[in-house]
Amino acid sequence: MGIEAWSCDLKPAEDGSEYHIQDDVRHHLHHGWGGVVAHPECKFMAVSGLHWNKRGAMVDGRPRAELTEEALDFVRELMAAPVPRIAIENPVSCISSRIRKPDQIVQPYEFGDDASKKTCLWLKGLPPLTIDPAQRLAGRMVEWPRGSGRMVERWANQTDSGQNRVPPSANRATDRSRTYPGIADAIARQWGGLAMELAA
């Protein structure tokens, strides 16, 4: 779309892109970016796993609760970055209760993808994404719980009970963390132009 966009991650680019910085993003936040869309790892912040903190779980010899605090400090650094337009994306997490509530919550099916993945957005200098009701992709209707007579909507990435269908594998976390194309397209179209205007 004419936007000079770079990715930055501790991992290499999956597609071998030359527009990728393999490093800690904190080393690059002062480089005059027009905007940042950040996807901090949710492993220690997602509400689905926080119960392990209360149980004293350890990860690589460290208390999991300590790793949650480090993850939250990283989010605070991203929010405070000297960049005029920032979006931080994460699933439902303790960012909402420990830092602040998200400015918007979106679903892939609202942007035409056959998937459910509640995605929270914390915004700075950016408007919420505009959602066109005509793009909404309806899910399949299933009775859940079975025999209850209650009909609920489910999408391709969900079982009838609402659980994620992605099977256990070495790439499961990476596959589940991917941004769906409809949301990515909306971000590029709606926010990319704003960042370009600012840089001009």
Q: Which residues contact 100 (CB under 8 A, 6 or more apart)?
A: 122
Nearest in space to 144 (alpha carbons), one of 164, 160, 156: 160
User: What sign for the dihedral angle of Cα 11, 69, 127, 164?
Assistant: positive
Residue 130: count of CB within 10 angstroms of its CB: 8
Q: How confident is the model at residue 198 (pLDDT cuts 50, 70, 90)?
A: low
Domain ranges of the chain: 36-199
Bridge partners of 103, per DSSP, are none
Q: What is the pTM of this model?
A: 0.93
Q: For 166-176, write each residue's pLDDT tens digit.
A: 877 888 888 88
